[in-house]
Amino acid sequence: MLRSRATSLPKIVRTVVQLGFVGLMAWLGLRHQFPGTGAGGAPIDSFCPFGAVESLPSLMDGFGFIRKTGTSNLVVLAALGAVTVGLSGAFCGWLCPFGGLQDWLSAIGRRVFGMQLRVPERVHAYLRHARWVVLGVIVLMSWRVLGLWFADYDPFRALFHFKFESTLAYGLVIGTVLVGLAVERAWCLYLCPLGALVGLLGKFGLVKVRRAEDACTDCGACTSRCPMRIPVERLDVVSDQHCTMCTDCVDACPKPGALVLSTGVKGESLRPLAVGIAAVLLFFAIIGTGWTLGFWQTGRGCAGCSLESPTAVVVSPQTTRAGAVVARLE
């Protein structure tokens, strides 16, 4: 079914913010591959919050950050954490460049084909938990190899690394485009390991979409607009792990006051635009604080396109944990 997607001010601002983050990532990726275009950049992996998660096993073992990561990853993870604790899933709805790309691909898909595919409800009910399995496998493999094991399979990295070294990298980019055109936010719904973490932390987020049962007419406009397939009209508080705080449901609701964004304090509510602006400000406030305190250190390290970090544990995806320990001791 083709759902109507009226353009509203929050939606326009959200698109502009997403464009900004996609542009920033593209610039960082290009700066790394073509040092002449900037100051000679760190690998794109240094700016991904998930790099900090993958580095944790190595850090806990006293091996330091794995190759291509640094304290910058921790700072970005802290910024993501602050946004999520305050504004639930807003990182995914407003800031994540890969989320933005998927939104645009599905908009193109709807326009070109007049529809998008929907995974059948019974399959969706199971598949929506698959990103936990992806997260578990990555954490396990990161612990085993003490390296960025997921990097070769990560479509975000394949896109923004701007160096398509393998057939797999091409496949990931083509797959991202095709799936993005066909199914709305498929990566976020079913596979994204970072989205799983945001979903977990977001459950404890302060601001949420809340429904006033006495004002709600059960028209279902909110549910049919939700890109994450959340049954908003049946919930009092949307604390679903998949909510991205995109605010589309609030936008779609025809009854003033039936759906609001609030912390739950009676009489208090936030405009959708305020959620996005707060997310951007909070995110960059934490990054700026980390930077100012001298805690921003990016990793180095694609062999051949940048410098190797002298202190990093250099392991390949094939390397075993035991091998990494031996390499470190040598």
d(CA 230, CA 232): 6
Question: In the complex, what is the shortest distance from the CB of residue 230 to ligand SF4, in angstroms, rounded to a whole number?
Answer: 4
Q: Per-residue DSSP letters for 1-25?
A: -PPP----HHHHHHHHHHHHHHHHH
33/224 with CB nearer ligand SF4: 224
Nearest-approach distance from CB 34 to ligand SF4, in angstroms: 26
Give the nearer residue to ligand SF4 in terms of CB position, either 92 or 169.
92
In this structure, the dihedral spanned by the alpha carbons of residues 169, 175, 177 and 181, taken in order and rounded to 10 degrees, is -170
Q: How far is the CB of 79 from ligand SF4 (least distance, A)?
A: 13
Question: Contact residues for ligand SF4 (CB under 6 A)?
Answer: 92, 96, 98-99, 187-188, 192, 194-195, 198, 209, 225-226, 228, 230, 232, 238, 243-249
**The residue type at 32:** H
Q: How far, in Å, CA of 123 to CA of 183, rounded?
A: 14
CB of 227 to ligand SF4, least distance (A): 6
Residue number closest to ligand SF4, CB atom: 195
Element (H, E) at 259: strand 259-262
Nearest distance in Å: CB 225, ligand SF4: 6
Question: DSSP class of residue 163?
Answer: -
- Measured from the CB of residue 122, what is the shortest distance to ligand SF4 in angstroms? 20
Give me 184's structure tokens: 């709305």
Cα(318)–Cα(226) distance, integer angstroms = 41
Q: Which of 150, 245, 132 is nearest to 189 (CA)?
A: 132
Of residues 183 and 249, the one with the C-beta less far from ligand SF4:
249
Q: Which is nearer to ligand SF4, 106 or 306 (CB)?
A: 106
Q: How far apart are CA 70 and CA 148, in angstroms?
A: 12
* Closer by beta carbon to ligand SF4, 158 or else 249: 249
Judged by beta carbon, residue 76 or residue 246, the one nearer ligand SF4 is 246
